Amino acid sequence: MPTHMNLVSLIDHAILHPTATDEDLVRECALAAELGVASVCVKPYMVARASALLSESNVAVGTVIGFPQGGNLTEVKVAEASLACEQGAIELDMVINIAKALEEDWDYISTDIQEVLNIALKHNAILKVIFETDYITSITAKQKLCEICSQLGVGFVKTSTGFGYTKQASGDYNYQGATLDDIKLMTEHTTNNVAVKASGGIRTKSAAQAMVDAGASRLGTSASQAIADDEPSSVGY
């Protein structure tokens, strides 16, 4: 079982909220360096500044591609990935085309991922592929996505963006995010050294530990301080 500090070192500290400003970026990058997380995951326009802010730390800079809905043309995702790597990102969290996955157009999905993976490999960057499991709920579809990602040899498969808000039975808009069942499924159905990242709704140390125990080796969250302090957090994604 990972120790407290090892658990924090698995976090990709998310700075992705639509309202996050440059001031927030400076503060959160400082926090990331202080805590010793694995990386920050920032909005694409923030990559260059985050790279500068963290240049003297061991914290990697990552960003999101096709975020949060995945519906961008493949060519746009490729351009976004290329620019991000040129500006200092060494980790790319890419959202699949959700509609194409629901339609089971696996050739499209495979090509979409492959084209972005080519950019990542060119720049020695890590590609993480986001399934958005609040929308992709079929076990068979999730298994197929794991198979495709394993065949292509991406770095990680990832549960959620943290922003996959769907209308609930109550009429509220909310999301579930990472679940232990999904982490176990993804762990069991990935090969070729593809790792698993849990993301979405992880706000406590106990929740983070449970995800790691289920097979996750990275954790996407903005509640890094609460996890480090082992205190509950009502905010975070």
> Domains of the chain by range and CATH?
4-229 (3.20.20.70)
Average pLDDT over residues 75-80: 98
Q: Detail the DSSP E strand segments found in 57-165.
A: 60-65, 91-95, 126-130, 156-158
Burial (CB count <10 Å: 0-12, 13-18, 19+), residue 57: middle
Q: What is the pLDDT of residues 85-136, one digit of tens each?
A: 999 999 999 999 999 999 999 999 999 999 999 999 999 999 999 999 999 9
Q: Are 160 and 134 in contact (CB under 8 A)?
A: yes
| pLDDT at residue 1, rounded to an integer | 42
Could you tell me the end-to-end alpha-carbon distance of the chain, in angstroms, rounded to an integer? 24
CA distance 58 to 96: 29
pLDDT of 233 reads 63
Provide the 8-state DSSP code for 180.
H
Active site positions, annotated: 93, 158, 197
| H helix count then E strand count, the chain | 10, 10
* Whole-number average pLDDT of the chain: 94
Contact between residue 187 and residue 196 where contact means Cβ atoms under 8 Å apart: yes
pLDDT at 149: 98
Contact 94, 143 (CB under 8 A): no
pTM, 2 dp: 0.93
Structure confidence at residue 201 (pLDDT) = 92
- pLDDT the model gives residue 2: 47
Using alpha carbons, select from 139, 157, 175 the residue that is nearest to residue 96: 157
Which residues on adjacent β-strands are paired with residue 173?
Answer: 167
Mean pLDDT within 42-59: 98
Stretch 61-77: mean pLDDT: 97
Please give the pLDDT value at position 172: 74
| 14 membership: H or E segment, kind and range | strand 11-15
